[in-house]
Amino acid sequence: MTRLGDLYTLQGQSPWLDNVRRDWIENGEMKRWVDRGVRGVTSNPTIFQKAISGGTAYDEQFGSLLADGTSVLDAYWELVVTDIRNTLAILRPVHDESDGLDGFVSIEVSPLLARDTAGTAQAARHLNGLIAEPNLYVKIPGTAEGLPAIAQMISEGCSVNVTLLFSADRYREVMESYLVGLEQREGDLSGVSSVASFFISRVDNEADRRLDAIGTPEAAAFKGKVAVANAQVAYEAFLQTFQGPRWDALVARGARVQRPLWASTSTKNPTYSTTLYVDTLIGPDTVNTMPENTLGDFEESGTLARTVDADFAEAHAVLDGIAALGIDLADITATLELEGVASFSKSFDDLLATLGEKAASLR
């Protein structure tokens, strides 16, 4: 058993891979990650931008699509859906063996729809119907406009990965949307699943910048602690939500909890441990999606202990401490949501521009 396997069997946390690459699908590397303990795969526009722009693995299919008269935008989605389908096939045994808990692969709706409720629901419905696999997650951004789309798609039986979450308050709204969607759906609920992707390292990047601007020893003491505390408070909200009569009524119909998924867990500050955002957020009913470097580092030296709920009081103390210094966590998380939507949209636009240039050269 690998350390990644132990993370799941001993602590109840599912390690997922935050990357999709066609060469890995074709040369067996994706399957080797699964054999080492990876239990799911996530993707986003930035990942596909790097994968498709970074080599020639997609050129043959892209050229064939262009020859058939497919537009660049439609060709992009064909490339992405092909990778997702093939990755779903690799992860399907994990899905079946876990009785539908893991083995999921995520595909994201266009990031240009982040502020469009109806457009998001329509795109999610299309992708879910097009791919039609039980271990597919359609990623919907957890913006205010995304909340009604989440409830709608859950009510229609579409499993959803809610992405771009930065605040515990927004996560509470996301969980409410999930519950509403389950309540609106008739019959058995066991085939509907969801995770909520809570971003970690970007919170410390912004919080540390503001702490550095204060420049006092008291401020410096909080560096590298805000993101973890923020996530631990979100986990506390998760525990509070999925209990009680309302939840018990849904469990009786087969409902599953919406697991927190820790995302953006590679450290950006070189002075921090490369497994900081894994070691400190381990606990049952959670997922941590990691790029391959972080997965490898955790395999070598990661902590195997339940840490995410070890000290909620300390987590609140950290957040209270930065508030006393004048740092507004709500402003941090709102800023990061705006930046996240813009970043994914830029990756999407950049990729389409790259494909447009490649199309011109192929023609």
Q: How many residues belong to the chain?
A: 363
Q: What tokens were used for 51?
A: 């994968």
Rounded Cα gap, residues 229 and 261, in angstroms: 15
Q: What is the DSSP letter of 177?
A: H
- Residue partners of 205: CB distance under 8 A and separation at least 6: 268, 269
Helix 168-184, helix 146-155: angle, nearest 10: 30
3-state secondary structure of 314: helix
Q: Is 139 a catalytic residue?
A: yes
Q: Where are the beta strands (DSSP E) in the chain?
A: 13-17, 40-41, 104-108, 136-141, 160-165, 194-199, 259-263, 286-290
Q: Among the options 31, 50, 139, 223, which is catalytic?
A: 139
Rounded Cα gap, residues 239 and 326, in angstroms: 29
Distance of CA 222 to the CA centre of its chain: 26
Q: Annotated active-site positions, please? A: 139
